[in-house]
Structure 1
Amino acid sequence: MASVSNILPLINNQMSEPLNRPRKSGSSTKRSISGSSNPAAALNKLLNAPRLSATKFRTKEDVDEGLKKLRRLILLGGIPTSEDTSLRPRIWKLLLRVDGPLAGDTYIQYIARGASPDREKIRNDTFRTLATDMEFKSRVREDMLIRLLDAFVWRNHDRQSPTQLPFRYVQGMNVLAAPFLYSLSSELEAFHCFSRFIEIECPLYVQPTLEGVHRGLKLLDRCLQIADPELFQHLRSKNLSAEIYAFPSVLTLCACTPPLAEVLRLWDFLLAFGVHLNILCVIAQLFLMRDSILSSTSPMKLLRTFPPLQAQPVIEIAVALVRDLPVELYDELVRHPFEIEL
């Protein structure tokens, strides 16, 4: 999970902790990217680093240092899946700390129990998941989505406790599951990564009230007001708040905006540095539309369907925005997907 103590120099030093406050992206970042002649080889070298000896394994500090280097490589060059299709599944599992033998028997037991208590709600959503993306539909069948989501409901049905947040199926979970089923090597891996992602990284986004989503939308308005007062005031003059125009993008962490390849590139970044940064990624998309929005008398017509996602410029703008936010506001942003307000 993202930690506020990690907030300050990754991009300043290009080697520091994942959530450190960077300077605005610019030529130094681009030079670093171009200076890497084979990013796939660099990532594979890091992923394939052997244990220290036959009897000595890496310490937590060794693992954290390796993750720090991995995040740096992701920031500077992304995950070059065209060169090695195995990279993204391996890296996502590492970033989510899903390692070791996966409990296949447990997943099979969940599936064997049949329809979960939320099956009807699940079926109402799964058939339209990324429905216009033919590549997704060819790789991920509806029954795979239903099985995974049913299993997730059963998993948490068995683990209910007064001291834990409850998890049931809620709107948007079908879209959040889609990238895992598309990218991971097996349905079993997708289930474990999705479960870890939901329960640890953004549990408040999937509560019955969608508490984390609504907190994120309020934070989007506050961040936009600081980052671009003119754009914020223009939208407000048309009675447009983030709740109205940005709900799908916040609910699904931008997975609702095609193309899927760009969504996956954006998720590489979000899994590496924290899902809270999706709020800034939505603002970045507004910036890419800024002139059109400001010149429009009816900007909601533009915002009803965002333009095709462009992950790299969105990431660069989001990284630059981190620097402009007050520390207290960024602290709220980091915590909003998972910290319960008392």
Structure 2
Amino acid sequence: MSSSTSKTQQFHKILTQSKPFGSKSRTQEEIDESLRKLRKLILVNGIPSDTDPALRPRIWKLLLRVNDLSADAYLRYVAQGPCYVREKIRNDTFRTLATDHSFKERVGEDMLVRLLDAFVWRNHDLGEIGRPGFTYVQGMNVLAAPFLYTMPSEIEAFYCFAAFIENNCPMYVQPTLEGVHRGLKILDRCLKILDPELFAHLRSKNLSAEIYAFPSVLTLCACTPPLQQVLQLWDFLLAFGVHLNVLCVIAQLLLIREQVIASKSPMKLLRTFPDLDAQAVIGIAVTLVRDLPQELYNELTKHPYEMRI
């Protein structure tokens, strides 16, 4: 039996143990323990999607706790037609992962527009019954792209995207992008502790995270090719928390640290990060957690979803 096949079987065994959430035959404690094992397996082995393409969609839906897939509801949102920010959506969707041919072959712009329209209508309707709502903001097109690429159907992509936005990083998609800007400030504070020399060099060139890391924080690194590496990074972020993306951006900096330190104009290097190497980035990010003060790490953990009054 090949190593890849063995890993796939391990995932299938845990997936069987991890569902359904509402099962009377399994306690919540048992389900939580299975999810803990699943997260550990993702960290240690990664998801072997090459041997079983259906594995990643199943795992993402499980991690996002997406169970109810109402086709009728989605079709009802779609039937409402263009939402009130359609022009803003169309200004972004045509350039979504524009250089990735595999994405362009699988995901048409019409699918992206339709999903984002439906998301706006969904939250417009829910907002009317006393629920905080969302609208389309910059970066949502890129955040939706991995779901449309990964999920077997547009409906599954829609509900996964909605759960992700509404539960995992709601502060990242407020009109002011409050969570993104907070994440960038935390990135600077983390880098100052984790690598004072690199931090000082960047600041000597008047480079803060707001200047060089905005796209990477805004899109959870989905703006950095190749897409297959982005998906592996997102396996990790969905399993352990999107807040860790801030440390993943720092990890990318550390991978080119010597070039940045040696450069008189480091922004030329940082304007376009090197191709993503998910395994290397995840490995570094995990080690960085141990070197952060607990108070700062707590702030990092909460920033994608905690609303400040």
TM-score higher than 0.5 here? yes
Deviation at 1:37, TM superposition (A): 7.5
Q: Which residue number in structure 1 is paired with residue 135 of structure 2?
A: 168
Number of residue pairs the alignment of both structures matches: 306
Which structure would you say has the larger RCO, counting Cα contacts within 8 Å and 6 or more residues apart?
A: 1
The gaps in structure 2 that reach 5 residues or longer are none
Which 10-residue stretch deviates more, 40-49 or 232-241?
40-49
Instruction: Output aligned runs, 1:233-248, within 5 Å.
Output: 233-248=200-215
Deviation at 1:35, TM superposition (A): 8.8
Amino acid at match of 2:230: V
Residue identity (%) = 69
| Residue aligned with 1:165, SS | coil
Deviation at 1:49, TM superposition (A): 3.6
2:255 corresponds to 1:250: no
Contact 2:181 2:210 in 1 (8 A): yes
Q: Which residue number in structure 2 is paired with residue 41 of structure 1?
A: 9
Q: Distance in 2 between matches of 1:233 and 1:74?
A: 35
2:185 corresponds to 1:180: no
TM-score normalised to the size of structure 1? 0.87
Q: Distance in 1 between matches of 2:292 and 2:242?
A: 17
Q: Which residue number in structure 1 is paired with residue 52 of structure 2?
A: 84
Cα deviation 1:175-221 (Å, max 9, x = unaligned): 00000000011100000000000000000000000000000000000
Q: Distance in 1 between matches of 2:306 and 2:42?
A: 26
More helix by share: 2
Contact 2:19 2:31 in 1 (8 A): no
TM-score normalised to the size of structure 2? 0.96
Contact 2:172 2:218 in 1 (8 A): yes
Divergent runs of 4+, >3 A: 34-37, 49-52, 161-165
Contact 2:187 2:209 in 1 (8 A): yes
Q: Which residue number in structure 1 is paired with residue 94 of structure 2?
A: 127
| Residue aligned with 1:298, SS | coil
Q: Distance in 2 between matches of 1:45 and 1:253?
A: 30
Which 10-residue stretch deviates more, 40-49 or 231-240?
40-49
Q: Which residue number in structure 2 is paired with residue 334 of structure 1?
A: 301
Cα deviation 1:83-135 (Å, max 9, x = unaligned): 11110000000000002x41110000000110001110000000000000000
Q: Which residue number in structure 2 is paired with residue 22 of structure 1?
A: none
Deviation at 1:163, TM superposition (A): 6.1
Q: Which residue number in structure 1 is paired with residue 117 of structure 2?
A: 150
Evaluate the alpha carbon distance shift between residue 107 and residue 50 of structure 1 in structure 2; reply closer, same or farther with a 3 A threshold.
closer
Match of 1:72 among 33, 40, 64: 40
Amino acid at match of 1:214: H
The gaps in structure 1 that reach 5 residues or longer are 1-33
Match of 2:189 among 214, 222, 234: 222
Q: CA RMSD in A?
A: 1.8
Contact 2:18 2:32 in 1 (8 A): no
Q: Which residue number in structure 2 is paired with residue 14 of structure 1?
A: none
Deviation at 1:165, TM superposition (A): 3.4
